[in-house]
Amino acid sequence: MNNFELENFLNELLRAKQIKDYCFNGLQVQGRSEITSIVTGVSASRKLIEAAADLKADAVIVHHGLFWKGDAPEIRGLQYGRIAPLIRSDINLYAYHLPLDAHPELGNNVLLARTLGITRTGWCDADSDFPMVGLGELSSEMTAGDFMQRTDAILSHRSQLVGDPDRPVKKIAWCTGSAGEFLPLAASCGADMFITGETPERNVHVAEELGICLLTAGHHCTETLGIRALGEHIQNQFATQVRFIDLPNNF
């Protein structure tokens, strides 16, 4: 498979050119033209890139790439440390941020709900062209504390709960990653709990004052789902070996 053919395939699959984002989605660093081996991961860290080079991968596909709005344009220091091994090893780097969050089958948000046993009934941001703030229900009511414990067991991560652990919850809103800005929207939709990966400190007070439980289940942890699924999809579509490398962190 050609590197630009892969980019076109991913751009079309993930609707990359249709979704407004604060980073560039697509082929961020060009490498060799022929791709037979791919590494996927959540973030384009130096450790992930060097692991891909050790595996002699032709491409790396990530959720969090290298180029973000407002970043300094110089390739030096931290940025040089990530880009240099890509160029030395002639590895392509692809990144898909919001397009991977929003995909209706492979997206982080759809997959988180499925993983946690939440049946989606709608979207809190239904007026958006590409909604991402899910709204759904558990099959049966449970306490916020019990739901947190179940979530921790499923995701193998220690989450944090704002709110009464004995409060019954059934109606759930969620958005993976760092989506604390949607907390008031979730409350306005009548959710008993809002789940995200991480949130600003001020949202502890916002949740208390709006009367909604807030569960932070880990930015990294909630966003391994989409990139894993994307890699499996690519492997099923093409004669290409895909390896997911997880570099867990507590955030």
Spell out the residues 6+ positions from residue 132 whose beta carbon is closer than 8 angstroms to its own: 98, 101, 102, 107, 109, 123, 125, 175, 179
Structure tokens at 150: 């179940």
Say whether pTM exceeds 0.85.
yes
Structural domain ending residue among the three candidates 100, 123, 144: 100
Burial group, residue 139, by CB count within 10 angstroms (0-12, 13-18, 19+): exposed
Q: Does residue 93 sit within a domain? A: yes
Q: Does residue 240 sit within a domain? A: no
Q: Name the nearest CA neighbour of 28 among 88, 70, 72, 68.
A: 68
- Spans of the chain, pLDDT less than 50: none
The DSSP element (H or E) to which 137 belongs, if any, is strand 134-143
Q: What is the extent of the structural domain holding 62?
A: 3-100
Residues 212 and 112 in one domain: yes
Structural domain ending residue among the three candidates 100, 129, 151: 100
Identity at 98, one-letter amino acid code: L
Given a contact cutoff of 8 angstroms between Cβ atoms, the answer to whether 63 and 100 are in contact is yes
Domain CATH code at residue 49: 3.40.1390.30
Residues 31 and 94 in one domain: yes
- d(Cα 77, Cα 56) in Å, to the nearest integer? 24
Structural domain ending residue among the three candidates 69, 100, 131: 100
- d(Cα 237, Cα 235) in Å, to the nearest integer? 5
- d(Cα 74, Cα 66) in Å, to the nearest integer? 12
Residues 128 and 92 in one domain: no
Spell out the residues 6+ positions from residue 156 whose beta carbon is closer than 8 angstroms to its own: 221
Given a contact cutoff of 8 angstroms between Cβ atoms, the answer to whether 25 and 16 are in contact is yes
Residues 69 and 147 in one domain: no
Q: Does residue 239 sit within a domain? A: no
Q: Does residue 194 sit within a domain? A: yes
